[in-house]
Amino acid sequence: MLTDHPRLLSVPGVLNLRDLGGYRTRRGYQTRWRSLYRGAGLHTMRPEGDAVLRDAGLRSVIDLRSHHEALEEPNPLAIAPGVAYHPIPLFDDLAPTIKQVKARNSDDLLLDLYMEALNAQSGAVRAVLATIAAAPEGAVLFHCTAGKDRTGIIAALLLGAADVERDDIVADYAQTGANIVPLVERLLARTRANGGDPVTHARFLRCEAPTMEAMLDHIERRHGSISGYLADIGLTVSDIEALRDRLLAGA
């Protein structure tokens, strides 16, 4: 369960930037504070946000957005001194993937997207997690645009590798829904203004517990566990141990 520590970081201009610390594991440990952060896009960050993140121990940033997204809305920390910036798109181009998922017309479009990430984009998932495992001392922030889907997948895998309770993994995912209400409203307004389909778009902007439950079920059926998935996509034993150490060492 969550502790009483504040999880949501107040970074001017940024939504949904949260600490993965404070979760209990099945063995009774607690994930470390100020070690791993998950977040939404940083392109809206105000100048004073840089100092807030540095005070929070930030030393590495992993940008999960596509190259197009990063060019259109540049990450201000890409050129920040003292911060290692790693652009690792979880999807090279998100638009065609979403179009393919829409064509399936399934009951849970997001789950289809997550399956695509876990299976077809496993190389990118491996690269992200290997980068976190090898990161120097200091906090690592990984983010996408809303901090919901690509970020949510990576957060779930990290918490699972640390043996955090399943209910907390699901709750961590679902919390994003309340944190990005203003962003969702802006995105849907833009879709309407451009003559798009706000109903279908809204389905991709959901963040509901059953979607994450189903993703975890899929991993367990196919790989036995999250650690099994990590091994199956090519992470080494030392990589997986390094991820656990980053979340648990000294906790």
| Residue 8: how many other CB atoms lie within 10 Å | 13
Mean local confidence (pLDDT), 33-61 = 96
| pLDDT tens digits along 93-120 | 655 566 666 656 667 888 988 998 999 8
Give the side-chain half-sphere CA count within 13 A for 110: 22
**pLDDT value at residue 76:** 95
Give the side-chain half-sphere CA count within 13 A for 181: 3
User: Domain limits of the chain?
Assistant: 18-248
87 in Cβ contact with 63 (< 8 Å): yes
Q: Is the dihedral of CA 156, 157, 158, 164 positive or negative?
A: positive
Taking domain 18-248, whether its CATH number is 3.90.190.10 is answered by yes
Share of the chain residues as helix, strand and coil, in percent rounded to the nearest 5: 55, 10, 35
How much of the chain, in percent, has pLDDT values that exceed 90? 73
- Alpha helices of 194-225 — where are they, by DSSP H? 198-204, 209-223
Q: What is the DSSP string of 104-119?
A: H--S-HHHHHHHHHHH
| pLDDT tens digits along 195-206 | 887 787 777 788
Segment among 55-59, 110-114, 172-176 with least mean pLDDT: 110-114
